[in-house]
Structure 1
């Protein structure tokens, strides 16, 4: 009798535990891309959307919504102030988000204001021109800037001090050019920037590599340099690095997600478990590679520690360029 009672109690406990796990799955999963369609945030959300769909992780399909403004600032503030406990919403971020946080560009909230969920891939900075551009190599571009910094118009998906601007500023500094002398047009996201360059409104784009590779495959652009320590594998192996062309700069771009500050541990851990499983799968690795992202597996506490360390380093870098408020 005692054994039977124990079995019943155990079965009831297991059912209750299973029910808790089921309850944790959001009924309306959503990924916020904090820019207009077509850029790196969009790529990040759609990678999670497709990965979870293929793995059968969600009963309801994940929708992608767009919340442009301040290169992530509007979305960051909206999630914290209006949706702090929304268990169905994840929001994309990148290294550019962390750079803006380091400079206080997200308003009164800092890097401790959200729950950092998962880093799912690494991109690298890239300097690109149209396929018919007179600049065939990075030294061609640098030489033109040395002669007249105002002769070249850069486009990038952020304001001065943002990630894309920082990439051009670091290159300029290495070439002995004052970054303040560069002509720079800011757009809201990488998709707009690329469209502007293809339309002839700007001559050079500074962006994440993953944002421009579709146009590279279409032979509409030329990538002058990838900002990685060494050449990337696979189809990207033909793209030269800035380092091998004489400019010692590397700019890795983490891509991932955060959640609101008041999301419960149970709900947060449900998402964390899905990403832990997803990031360990070969199918997702293939999906990520197709989008020209390199592997990165950071979730929960590990990602939080990485983010805090990265923000501290960006504060130092921003101070060097006189960008701190």
Structure 2
């Protein structure tokens, strides 16, 4: 609930409990600010980052925008009229993606007209029904519709092309210096013992090496982004700083 901050508060309250962990992602970083949570990820014990998922910019098949350049050109001319939809409330991944993209292409993020939908299930009909100019979300939300031809992906936001969408260019290939990925990882309560922390890391490292996990990555189009302990902790701090900066610029946090 509340963008993951209810679970986050529970984890932070369970100081020293090495038997508890929380699966979370980028959305919790933003929600901690927008929900004014007392608990933050900096209060937890970082265990491991597991995966990253590329974002995608999508339009319905009959959209006038045939590539990302034509969309961005129209967006820059009048950001308030080129509505973007996402399956996140402000501070969530689908909100952060277009805001950071706007910044990258020279649009004032405060001018962006962002429409929040309750997850991909609500976002999809909005894209298909031309209720918005384009959608921004993880590409996995739209795979079936892309394969059926009802939705087109103009670009993905990863460093490299996505295996599941080999014909779709990256932002960088399209001349836009921008990357963005949603990610998911595991954190534990604060002040757990070194032994308990290592038990979690060892278990996830073992899982990471299994064929079943590799098959799941391929099935869902996720990128393997495995890192543990202090390395993941540094990543979390960097993410926290980046998200705080964009939300502060939007007036969503002090």
Judging changes above 3 Å, is the alpha-carbon distance between structure 1 residues 261 and 174 closer, same or farther for their aligned structure 2 residues? closer
- Residue of structure 2 equivalent to 1:236: 165
Q: How does 1:236-275 map to 2 (within 5 A)?
A: 236-261=165-190, 267-275=196-204
Distance 2:174 2:168 in 1: 11
Q: Which residue in 2 is equivalent to 1:75?
A: 7
Structure 1 residue runs of 5 or longer lacking an equivalent are: 1-67
SS at 2:187 equivalent = strand
Aligned to 1:115: 45
Residue 294 in structure 1 maps to residue 227 in structure 2: no
CA distance 1:180–1:124, shift in 2 (3 Å): same
> Equivalent of 1:172, from 102, 115, 126?
102
CA deviation after TM superposition for structure 1 residue 177, in Å? 2.9
What secondary structure, in the 3-state scheme, does the structure 2 residue paired with 1:126 have?
strand
Q: Which moved more, 1:312-321 or 1:273-282?
A: 312-321
Separation in structure 1 between the aligned mates of residue 200 and residue 145 of structure 2, nearest angstrom: 33
Q: TM-score, normalised by structure 2?
A: 0.82
1:92 to 14, 20, 23: 23
Q: Is the 8 A contact 2:16 2:193 kept in 1?
A: no
Query: For 1:61-88, what per-residue CA distance to the aligned partner results, in whole angstroms no more than 9, with x for missing partners?
Result: xxxxxxx42x22233224434798483x
Secondary structure, aligned partner of 1:107: coil
Q: 2:26, 2:6 → 1: CA distance?
A: 16
Match of 2:75 in 1: 145
**1:134–1:280 distance in 2 versus 1, CA, 3 Å:** same
Deviates more, 1:132-141 or 1:170-179: 170-179
Q: Matches of 1:191 and 1:92 in 2, distance apart?
A: 22
2:213 matched residue in structure 1: 284
Could you tell me how far 1:276 is from its partner in structure 2?
0.5
Residue 153 of structure 2 corresponds to residue 197 of structure 1: no
* Contact kept in structure 2, 1:130 and 1:220, CA below 8 Å: yes
CA contact (8 A) 2:68 2:174 kept: yes
Measure how far apart 1:275 and its partner are: 0.8
Q: In 1, are the aligned partners of 2:8 and 2:40 still within 8 Å (CA)?
A: no
1:119 touches 1:296 (CA, 8 Å); kept in 2?
yes
1:316 Cα shift? 4.3
The question of 1:312 aligning with 2:207 is answered no
Cα distance, 1:238 vs. partner? 0.9
Q: Give the structure-1-normalised TM-score.
A: 0.67
The count of residues paired between Structure 1 and Structure 2 equals: 254
Provide runs of 4+ in structure 1 moved above 6 Å: none
The superposition leaves residues 145-203 of structure 1 with CA deviations (integer Å, 9 ceiling, x where unpaired) of 23432333211133344432232123323444332222211234344333443354434
For structure 2, the residue ranges without an aligned partner over 5 or more in a row are none
Provide the rounded CA distance (Å) in 2 between the counterparts of 1:195 and 1:73: 28
Determine helix, strand or coil for the equivalent of 2:124: helix
